Amino acid sequence: MKALSQVGKYGLRALLYLVAYPPKNQYLSIREISDELGLSFHFVTKIFRELTEKGILISYRGPSGGIALAKPAEEIMLIDVIKALEGEDYFDKCLIGLPHCGTAKPCPVHEFWKEVKTKMQKNFSETSLALLGEKIRTMEVRLDD
Amino acid sequence: MKALSQVGKYGLRALLYLVAYPPKNQYLSIREISDELGLSFHFVTKIFRELTEKGILISYRGPSGGIALAKPAEEIMLIDVIKALEGEDYFDKCLIGLPHCGTAKPCPVHEFWKEVKTKMQKNFSETSLALLGEKIRTMEVRLDD
DNA sequence: CATATTTAAGAGTATTTAATCTTAATTAAG
DNA sequence: CTTAATTAAGATTAAATACTCTTAAATATG
Ligand code: SF4
Ligand code: SF4
């Protein structure tokens, strides 16, 4: 049960590095993140560009440029990141996708599947990047390769 | 959040058709199922071949041949079908896939993700194809295109 | 035995996702 | 003003997934 695509996993991981180990300078360069985590610089760049477009990151070009959170980590919820990386419809997906499906006659797995999605949605909505970053720091969780 | 691949969705759907509308004869032909559901005959055939290898279906070639459940529908649990179609490791997947992850220092989403997977695993283990088939029949859920 | 029907097996094609590469634009610093 | 550092943008390639096609094997029936 793959919950996230590679874009989602790498994006979240790179973002968590930024949050858990915030730089002294205003901006942290993508090169440092990708080197530190052992991820492809170009791939991370592409992912971060999306996050910048979506308003989760801000970026600055040129020497000593890089990326930074657009808002305080306390105000960015995990659900925002996942929706930005996987699509706004992330929690609207159906389990078996019957063509004639409707609320009138939902298939027998619908109720349960909705419960699962609601549980995840709730949890992700309540989890801030700040909290995740702090846990990563205090538990000394390794994000690198 | 895509929980099943196309193979998983189509396979489950085709299987549910067989269970919900069992044939008079011993075997139901794949052609009838694929026509009835509007799915590709070849694709369903390929999927069913896997389910036959995995011991969920039995097949019989030649005129009036087709496929049938290998066991009573009461004894086939949804989890068996999903594991057969998506892989035995379906519930072992990780949310963010940190390379150095271990039980010693789990990442901050691990506990929650384990809960979600356990909930699904439990539900799927308790749900038989017979139950799903009956609900589909009584609720008149449409499986076709 | 000949033929039609059906699944088995696997090759082949198309689409989507993942990852890489190239070039341009921006900016700091000498 | 020149150069180096950095992200932006998009083209290109690679790999995985989804689907299609062809041929073979099995079996019932006339
Ligand atoms: S009822 Fe729900 S789970 Fe079932 S096919 Fe429709 S949307 Fe999907
Ligand atoms: S701790 Fe769990 S969720 Fe986190 S990276 Fe490891 S396996 Fe994945």
Helix/strand/coil percent split, chain A, to 5: 55, 10, 40
Q: Is the dihedral of CA A86, A91, A95, A97 positive or negative?
A: negative
From residue B94, alpha-carbon distances to A4, A39, A81, B57, B143 in Å are 9, 18, 17, 30, 31
Q: Do A120 and B1 touch (CB under 8 A)?
A: yes
User: Are the beta carbons of A3 and B95 closer than 8 angstroms?
Assistant: yes
Query: CB of A67 under 7 A from strand D?
Result: yes
Domains of chain B with bracketed CATH = 6-137 (1.10.10.10)
Question: Hey, what amino acid is at B98?
Answer: L
Q: Which residue of A has its CA nearest to B102?
A: A141
Q: Which burial class, exposed, middle or buried, applies to A120 when counting CB atoms under 10 A from its CB (0-12, 13-18, 19+)? A: buried
Asked if pLDDT for residue A26 goes beyond 80, the answer is yes
A vs B, Cβ pairs < 8 A, gives: 104
Q: List chain B pLDDT tens, one digit each, 145 residues.
A: 999 999 999 999 999 999 999 999 999 999 999 999 999 999 999 999 999 999 999 999 999 999 999 999 999 999 999 999 999 999 999 999 898 887 778 999 999 999 999 999 999 999 999 999 999 999 999 999 8
Written as six digits, the tokens of B90 are 């379906």
Cα B103 to averaged position of ligand 2 atoms, centre (Å): 8
Chain B residue numbers with beta carbons less than 8 Å from the beta carbon of A112 are: 123
Asked if pLDDT for residue A36 goes beyond 90, the answer is yes
Pocket test for ligand 2, best of B91, B94, B105, B114 (most atoms within 8 A of CB): B94
Tell me the CA–C1' distance in angstroms for B129 and C27: 63
> How many CA within 13 A on the CB side of residue B113?
16
Helix/strand/coil percent split, chain B, to 5: 55, 10, 40
Closest residue to atom 2 of ligand 1, CA basis: A110
Mean pLDDT, rounded, for A126-136: 98
pLDDT, tens digit, 9 for 90 and up, residues A51-63: 999 999 999 999 9
- B97 in reach of chain A (CB within 8 A): yes
Q: Do A135 and B106 touch (CB under 8 A)?
A: no
Q: Are strands A66-69 and B57-60 parallel, antiparallel or unpaired?
A: unpaired
Candidates B86, B96, B142; nearest CB to A9: B96
Tell me the CA–C1' distance in angstroms for A65 and C28: 9
Question: Hey, what amino acid is at B41?
Answer: F
Angle at A118 between CA A113 and CA A123, to 5 degrees: 130
Q: Is A76 helix (H, G, I), strand (E, B) or coil?
A: coil
The whole-angstrom separation of Cα B100 and Cα B98 is: 6
Predicted TM-score (pTM) of the model is 0.94
